[in-house]
Structures are given as structure tokens and as C-alpha cells.
Amino acid sequence: MYRLMTVCTGNICRSPMAEIVLRARFEAAGLGDEVFVDSSGVSDEEHGHGVDRRARAVLAEHGYPTGDGHRARQVVASDLTSHDLVLAMTSAHARALRRLGGDDRVRMYRSFDPAAPTDGPEHLLDVDDPWYGDRSGFETCLAEIESAADAIVAHVRSFV
């Protein structure tokens, strides 16, 4: 089984949104039984909390399942060796993951987005943080996540 993890700060907004979107896309592509997707955060500040209510609401309105089983957790070094691909939501998350020893498995999530910038510093690929904003921030975050999702599925398909 191919194992993929998405990583953000507290594991209650961006990374679980990406986890939910990717699970749905892998299922639609007929790969749901061949790809395991989970998420974590670089911080333990939200440990044990569920997906942010605003993120759940936006996901539900876009037709994604938003079960309440998710519990935020902090990424640990063993996650990097037990996953084939680790997708960082921002360049700061990527740096933290690389410090844990995940150089060869860590990629920026939006590096798969065909509309994302291809030149310039890595931070230009950051998925916007919706936490401090209003509903529109969660809509923007979801749009960025969805924009890269099909290319992630295509990439993983070549390994399963």
C-alpha cells in the first residue's frame, strides 16, 4: 500500500482538508484500496482536536465527507520513514519536516498544482492559512488543495 501524509501547522485546517480531498480523489480514481492518506501537524498545539468547524462546513458544501473521527496529532520522525510521500502545506512546514529527516520524501503540496508558480522561492507554493481569516480563506484554501489533487493522484498512480 502506498502511504501519503499531508502536513500543516496544527492539523485542524489545511492538512485534514487535503487529506479528505485526496481520499475522495483516490477513491474516485479506483485507488482507494491501494493508497492510505493521513495528516499531521508540525505543532502539538491542537493535539486531539477535530477538524476546524469552518473547514468542515466548506468541505461539506463542496460535497466532501467530513466525519468527526479526525484527531489532530503532531508529526514524528517515524512518520517520515513510514510514508512514501509527505506533502507540506508551506515552506516552513517543509523545512520542519526536512529537519526531522524527511528530505527525500517531502514535497510541497502545491508543487503538483499546474497553476502554481514554477520559478522563485519555495514559499510561493504555500497553501494559504485560513485560520485567522473569514470564510473566504477556507474557500481559497480548498481551491488551492483541489487544484493540485488530480496531479497528486496521477503521480501516485505511477507507484501503485
Looking at residues 76-94, what average pLDDT do you find?
A: 97
Number of structural domains in the chain: 1
Whole-model pTM: value is 0.97
Question: Of these residues, 14, 23, 54, 110, which one is catalytic?
Answer: 14
User: Residue 71 catalytic?
Assistant: no
Separation between Cα atoms, residue 69 and residue 64, nearest integer Å: 14
- Assign residue 2 a region: left if phi > 0, alpha if psi is -120 to 50, beta otherwise? beta
What's CA 149's distance to the chain center, in Å?
Answer: 10
Domain residue limits at 127: 2-157
pLDDT at 66: 84
88 vs 14: CA distance, rounded Å: 10
Identify the CATH number of the domain in which residue 111 sits: 3.40.50.2300
The Cα 76–Cα 69 span in angstroms is 20
Catalytic residue of the set 84, 128, 129, 150: 129
Which triple of cell numbers denotes residue 20? Answer: 479528505
- For the stretch 102-160, pLDDT in tens is 778 999 999 999 999 989 999 999 999 999 999 999 999 999 999 999 999 999 999 99
Judge whether 129 counts as a catalytic residue: yes
The residue-averaged pLDDT of 7-32 equals 98
Q: How far lies 60's CA from each of 20, 87, 145, 158, in Å?
A: 11, 23, 15, 30
Q: How many beta carbons lie within 10 A of that of residue 90, not counting itself? A: 23
Q: State the catalytic residue, choosing from 8, 52, 105, 126.
A: 8
Compute the C-alpha angle 34/112/76, nearest 5°. Answer: 65
Report how far residue 144's alpha carbon sits from residue 128's, in angstroms, rounded to the nearest whole number: 8
**SS in 3 state form for 126-144?**
CCCCCCCCCHHHHHHHHHH
CA distances from 50 to 80, 91, 104 (A): 23, 24, 30
